[in-house]
Structure formats: structure tokens, C-alpha cells
Structure 1
Amino acid sequence: MRTVEYRQRIDVPLELVWTTVADFGSLLRWLPGNEDGTLTLNGEGIGMTRDLNLPTVGEVQHRLDALDPERNLLTYTLTRGRPLGMAAYSVTLSLASDHEQCNLHWQGEFDPQGGADADTMAKNLAGAYQNMSEGLESLLGNWRDQS
């Protein structure tokens, strides 16, 4: 498997970011460009799945593999679909507090579908992590106004 890492600090406290990402059904709120997508949750807790139909990647399913509030870490795996040409995919998002900011660390592993360019896929995946990080900051960035 190929590994892609992406780190970004956003101007939002860890607690707000964690509350949002720990809600496995919240993705469409902070995934830019997919406002017209659909999301359906199946099950509860570890092992639950979310079925997505997204304008950017089509139909995919993710399974929640880890949700650790003590370590501010979640992991999910692609169980259906081939977004960005991936045959297999798993990602871990871990959060760390930096005063009133949050450091996001995305670590994804993927296998390219036959013939797909792994370097291009890695670049696109890093871009997706950046997009999601910025989406979280955009969604939650007015937290000071609400406190």
C-alpha cells in the first residue's frame, strides 16, 4: 500500500473539531463541493458504515474502524467504490491541540486500481485532505463569535 500524509493547523479548538469529525454522519457539512451529495448511516459505533453518493467521486461506502476520543483519532476504510482510482483505501485522522488551534494529521493508505498512476492519486488524495481541513475550518471558524 502507498501512504500519503497531510498536516494542517486550523484556527479552531480541538474540542470543536473532534465533536464534528467524531460524528461519522457529519461529512457533508464540511466536505466542500459535495453539498448536493447524500449520506446514509448504517449501524452504530465501530463497524458502522456510511453510504455516500458524492458529485466529486460517485457512490462509495466507508466503514468506521476506530474512534478514540482519548487520542482524538478516527480511522475509516473504503468498503465500496473506487474514488480517485483506488482499489483499497484506509485513512486515519488524528487531532492535536495547539492552544486555541487544532493540528490535523491525515494518514491515508491506498492501493491503486490496475493501471492507475499512484503518484497522481497521492497528489489528489493530499488535495482532498487539504480540502476537508479547510472545510472544517470554514464550518467551525466562527466559533469565537458563538462563545
Structure 2
Amino acid sequence: MAEPRKKGLISHGVASQNRKARFDYAIKDTVEAGIVLKGPEVKSLRLGRAQLNEAWAGERDGEMYLFNAYIPEYQGGVLSRFEVRAPRKLLLKKKEIDKLLGLVARQGVTLVPLDIHFNEQGRAKVLLGVGEGRQKQDKRAYIADRDWARDKARLMRARG
């Protein structure tokens, strides 16, 4: 008989999402990367308490890191403490790192974490978006296009 799952834990699926990233940036491409975490950080992620609102990815010493991602301390009686906004290493192949750093240097794009999720094996992954920042007028046009698409779909449904 299978053991019952604990309430509130995420075994696979999205643990944290940066919903505003797709509004603030025009995402051109996405890259999935592994992330190096400690045990209590994984437990805290499984409870879905992480925040990616102000997080960004960048290079340090030739490796990619996730900066300013907020993963709160796990309150389950674990004694090991960790820094909640510590830089966390991203696991990418050298060719992928070189490609992303080249895009950042040449085209001036930004690496934005879109979400942290658990794959089928239960490993934490970060979905990075390669995006250009939107200006205020671009955001207004994006909102207008989105609203028109919604209204158009509503009209088509009403017609039958």
C-alpha cells in the first residue's frame, strides 16, 4: 500500500513562480537549469514558500548563479540554518553558459527566473527566461493585445 502524501508538500510541479516576469520582459527563449540546494531549502521549496519577484541570474567566476531568490528557513525543527537570499549555483553545461553569457553581452538581454519546479524525479529545476525589458508603452500595448484576444475569444464562443 502506498504511503499517504503529506498535506501541502509538492513532490513534482511548480514550487514558485515569477508571474510578473512575463509582463515586465519580452521572453525570447527559455532554458531549464538545475539548482544546488541544501536539505532544508528543498523542504522549504516543497512547501511552496519561495519568492522569485526580485531574483535574477548572472555569472560569477565563470559559473551561473541565481541571485536574490528568497527561500525562507524551514520551520520543521531542522537545526541547520541558511541565508535566505544567498546566491545559489545553477547547473548548466559549459556550452549553455557560454551561449547565455554571449547573449547577455552582445544583445543586452536579461536572464530572469520564471519559475522553480520539481521534475518527475523530484529534482528542483529553475526555468530561466532570456528576455528584453519592456518599456511602459510596450506594457500598455501588451495589455491591450491581451484584452482584445480575450474579448475576441468571448465573442467567438457567443456566436457558437
TM over 0.5: same fold? no
Greater Rg over alpha carbons, structure: 2
